[in-house]
């Protein structure tokens, strides 16, 4: 009896020691948390928030695997353009009048915008509110999409608040590098938001999922074929995009298009990366060693991806009483319906009324 009890105690100690090792290792790879964000942000106000998001997406992605790719990309666009404030979710007919401005946005999938709004409605049903911000929903949806597609699971710091207006077209172009970019250009874009070469290589690994339209890579086929592209691969792409301006799509990762794994880096090693922005990472000396490492070591890719995506998810976030919590992710709250007046305004009102 005594010996079995002490055996249990020893086992327990071993388990605890292992668990604390694991969490220490994770902690060492967690970027510093932005002020106002925390892993327990909705613990009191909407404890079931994360399971509601996950359960919804598990069913939705089972029906439409493309939704996972679309949600991961939305979080990226949200964060790169004016910070992770859910502004990418806002309808904006004004910005769309600029045809160019619409280009990067046009290929964001409507199914993903709808999924985020559907989740938002479920959260409001469960927790009242609005309590959970659209920017947080986008971050959680991207996280769950990565996992549901076979990638790593990671904790998301929460507490982002939603921006009040969409970004102007010029800001979208200043923030999102085009797929024709080489590594020098990509690093210049990423440096504006404190992301480095390792972040670039790991985050681009999200192109292990999803699709692209011909317009995003046709400059590598016409008028002359990009010599850095594998000839067989170029031939395949020309079947999909036989000339300029064809409205057709192909998968980003020819090996495992719907699985979040490290095969994208194997594509690059075989000169079968789709965009210049992908393939040049295997040419440029600043990124090539990391590409090669991730191609042979999926755990190393997952580890860096988690670190970099959590970092990306904290770019210029609004917290505290900045911004608002939207009641509809595609539109700012109506002024009369604005739940959060800044405290300073409330204090002024209180003083005026001599409360």
Query: Which stretch in 53-61, 90-98, 206-214, 283-291 sits in contact with ligand HEM by CB under 6 A?
Result: 206-214
Per rule CB under 6 A, is residue 85 in the interface with ligand NAG?
Answer: no
Q: Which helix (H) or strand (E) holds 249?
A: strand 249-251
Per rule CB under 6 A, is residue 69 in the interface with ligand HEM?
Answer: yes
**Whole-angstrom distance, CA of residue 159 vs CA of residue 39:** 9
Query: Exposed e or buried b for every residue in 92-130, given b needs 16+ CB within 10 A?
Result: beebeeeeebebbbebbbeebbebbbebbebbeebbebb
Of the candidate residues 53, 186, 241, 281, the single one contacting ligand HEM (CB under 6 A): 186
**Whole-angstrom distance, CA of residue 238 vs CA of residue 14:** 57
**Among ligand NAG, ligand HEM, none, what does residue 72 contact (CB within 5–8 Å per kind)?**
ligand HEM
Of the candidate residues 26, 117, 182, 319, the single one contacting ligand NAG (CB under 6 A): 182
Shortest spacing between CB 102 and ligand NAG, in angstroms: 6
**Whole-angstrom distance, CA of residue 214 vs CA of residue 107:** 11
Specify whether the CB–CB gap between 56 and 115 falls below 8 A. Answer: yes
Per rule CB under 6 A, is residue 313 in the interface with ligand HEM?
Answer: no
Dihedral sign (CA 321, 322, 327, 333): positive
Of the candidate residues 10, 244, 331, 341, the single one contacting ligand NAG (CB under 6 A): 244
Per rule CB under 6 A, is residue 316 in the interface with ligand NAG?
Answer: no
Residues 95-124 that bind ligand HEM (CB under 6 A): 107, 109
Active site residue 77: yes
Pairing mode, if any, of strands 211-213 and 249-251? antiparallel
Shortest spacing between CB 114 and ligand HEM, in angstroms: 14
Q: Given the rule CB under 6 A, which residues bind ligand NAG?
A: 91-92, 95-96, 102, 105, 108, 110, 113, 166, 182, 184-185, 239-240, 242, 244-246, 248
């Amino acid at each position: 009896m005594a010996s079995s009890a002490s055996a249990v105690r020893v086992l327990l100690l071993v388990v605890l020691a292992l668990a604390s090792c694991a969490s220490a290792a994770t902690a060492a790879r967690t970027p510093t948390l932005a002020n106002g964000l925390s892993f327990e942000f909705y613990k009191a106000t909407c404890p079931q928030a994360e399971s509601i998001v996950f359960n919804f997406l598990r069913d939705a992605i089972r029906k439409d695997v493309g939704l996972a790719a679309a949600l991961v990309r939305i979080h990226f666009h949200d964060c790169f353009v004016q910070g992770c404030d859910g502004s990418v979710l806002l309808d904006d007919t004004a910005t769309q009048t600029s045809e160019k401005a619409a280009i990067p946005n046009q290929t964001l999938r409507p199914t993903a915008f709808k999924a985020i709004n559907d989740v938002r409605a479920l959260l409001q049903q469960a927790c009242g509110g609005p309590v959970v911000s659209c920017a947080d929903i986008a971050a959680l949806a991207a996280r769950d999409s990565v996992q549901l597609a076979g990638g790593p699971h990671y904790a998301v710091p929460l507490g982002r608040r939603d921006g009040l207006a969409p970004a102007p077209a010029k800001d979208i172009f200043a923030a999102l590098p085009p797929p024709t970019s080489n590594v020098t250009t990509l690093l210049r874009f990423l440096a504006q938001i404190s992301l480095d070469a390792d972040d670039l290589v790991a985050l681009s690994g999200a192109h292990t999922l999803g699709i692209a339209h011909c317009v995003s890579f046709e400059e590598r086929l016409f008028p002359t074929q990009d010599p850095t592209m594998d000839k067989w691969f170029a031939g395949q792409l020309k079947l999909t995009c036989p000339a300029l301006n064809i409205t057709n799509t192909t998968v980003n990762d020819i090996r495992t298009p719907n699985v979040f794994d490290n095969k994208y880096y194997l594509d690059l090693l075989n000169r079968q990366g789709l965009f210049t922005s992908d393939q040049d990472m295997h040419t440029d000396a600043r990124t090539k060693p990391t590409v090669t490492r991730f191609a042979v070591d999926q755990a190393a890719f997952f580890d860096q991806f988690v670190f970099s995506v959590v970092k990306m998810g904290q770019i210029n976030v609004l917290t505290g009483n900045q911004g608002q919590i939207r009641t509809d992710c595609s539109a700012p709250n109506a002024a009369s319906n604005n739940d959060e007046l800044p405290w300073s305004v409330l204090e002024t009102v209180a003083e005026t009324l001599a409360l």
